[in-house]
Amino acid sequence: MGMARQLRVEFENAFYHITSRGNQRDKIFYNPADRERFLKILSRTKERYGFLLHAYALMDNHYHLLLETPKGNLSQIMQNINTSYTVYVNRKYQRSGHLLQGRFKGIIVDKDRYLISLSRYIHLNPVRAKLVKELQDYPWTSYRVFINQKAENSLVDTEETLSYFSNHRNKAVKAYREFVEADEGRDENPFATMEAGLLLGEGAFKAKVLRLIERIKVDEEIVQAKRLRKRVSIDTVIKACQLFYGKNRKELVERAKGNEGRQVAIYLAKILTGEKGKEIGGYFGIKGSAISDAIKRIEGRLDKESQLRERIEFLKGRILPEF
């Protein structure tokens, strides 16, 4: 199911590839002044929250950041950046609502293995998008900071990336430039080996992160189940579905072919109330085992039917305003 929000794996010195896109893939930067403001927000947030920025690229409708978090505070950092920038754009252009599509996407990365290939990948964005032929002609990535031998830029931390090539800055800059601009690396996709949509790494690193993910999942499920059990009754779910599908209670709960309202009510009752299948079955005149079958049928449809996903998300929002 594509609806679950992405897990946030946060720990000290974690390293991430971050992307954030415009809502419905719309533009988020309308002119150079907007990009300048975004970089100022990035700089201010960096001072406040103490992250390292290894590379960035600002495109028209999205941006990329290569971030390291010594304090394990990624969510705070990203909330600060995205909220500040959305407020700026909404004020400037007298618009309202979401500028960015959902929450940011954060992929946790094995820095030792992927730092330089991700640096290249991010800096090549404008060339891949055919915005420029020569990388250094695009002013809105950190590439110029890397290839300027005297560059002093407190925003971008170039030292570690360049140290992979040489301990002498001049030699390192030359070698890095050759690495990024070489034809053979141009189409490389570092994310080809990504797992679970959030992990790029192998071996001991992968094992460590997977253990963390399992712990976070368990913690989140416990917190969520407790929160939901306190708040949501099966009756609440049935009433919301009655209203949405325009049916009275009897029509909604009775077995009838093509009664989507009933199937959705069973599904939402199971995921939102924390009640056992037997309890839910009592409301719909079926056994607990039949509840499991009904859930599986809906889950099978959710993967294929985006409109059904939207209806269920809408109902979840009505039943659980803060879900």
Which ranges constitute the DSSP H helices of 20-149? Answer: 32-49, 74-92, 111-123, 125-128, 143-147
Percentage of the chain beyond pLDDT 70 is: 91
Res 228 pLDDT > 80: no
Res 320 pLDDT > 80: no
Quick one: how far is CA 37 from the chain centroid?
23
Which ranges constitute the DSSP H helices of 233-276? Answer: 234-245, 249-253, 260-273
Task: Quote the tokens at residue 9.
Answer: 């794996």
Query: Given this model, what pLDDT does residue 3 score?
Result: 40
Output the CA–CA distances (angstroms, integers) from residue 29 to 73, 119, 233, in the order listed: 26, 22, 44
Query: Given this model, what pLDDT does residue 322 score?
Result: 42
Res 224 pLDDT > 70: no
Query: Given this model, what pLDDT does residue 272 score?
Result: 82
Where in the chain are all domains bearing CATH 3.30.70.1290? 14-217
Please determine, looking at this structure, whether the domain spanning 232-319 carries the CATH number 1.10.1750.10: yes
Task: Quote the tokens at residue 82.
Answer: 């995205």
Q: Can you tell me the mean pLDDT for 287-315?
A: 86
Task: Quote the tokens at residue 275.
Answer: 């009640």
| CB-based contacts of 159, cutoff 8 Å, min separation 6 | none
Which ranges constitute the DSSP H helices of the chain? Answer: 32-49, 74-92, 111-123, 125-128, 143-147, 159-163, 169-181, 203-231, 234-245, 249-253, 260-273, 277-284, 288-302, 306-319
Pairing of strands 62-69, 14-21: antiparallel
Least confident of 6-20, 53-67, 78-92: 6-20
- pLDDT (tens digit, 9 = 90+) per residue, 94-118? 887 788 887 889 999 999 999 999 9
Query: Given this model, what pLDDT does residue 98 score?
Result: 83
Res 167 pLDDT > 60: yes
User: Residue 4's closest CA among 313, 305, 276?
Assistant: 313
User: Residue 54's closest CA among 128, 120, 135?
Assistant: 120
Q: Can you tell me the mean pLDDT for 221-245?
A: 75
Task: Quote the tokens at residue 187.
Answer: 């189409």
Query: Given this model, what pLDDT does residue 80 score?
Result: 92
User: Residue 20's closest CA among 75, 66, 61, 74?
Assistant: 61
Res 26 pLDDT > 70: yes
User: Residue 19's closest CA among 121, 160, 154?
Assistant: 121
Where in the chain are all domains bearing CATH 1.10.1750.10? 232-319
Res 2 pLDDT > 50: no
pLDDT band at 283 (very low <50, low <70, confident <90, very high): very high
What is 14-217's CATH topology? Answer: Alpha-Beta Plaits (3.30.70)
Query: Given this model, what pLDDT does residue 1 score?
Result: 34
Q: Which residue has the higher pLDDT, 184 or 43?
A: 43
Query: Given this model, what pLDDT does residue 11 score?
Result: 87
Least confident of 73-77, 224-228, 306-310: 224-228
Res 6 pLDDT > 80: no
Percentage of the chain beyond pLDDT 90 is: 50
Q: Which residue has the higher pLDDT, 322 or 179?
A: 179
Q: Can you tell me the mean pLDDT for 30-50?
A: 95
Name residue 41's amino acid. Answer: I
Q: Which residue has the higher pLDDT, 102 or 22?
A: 22
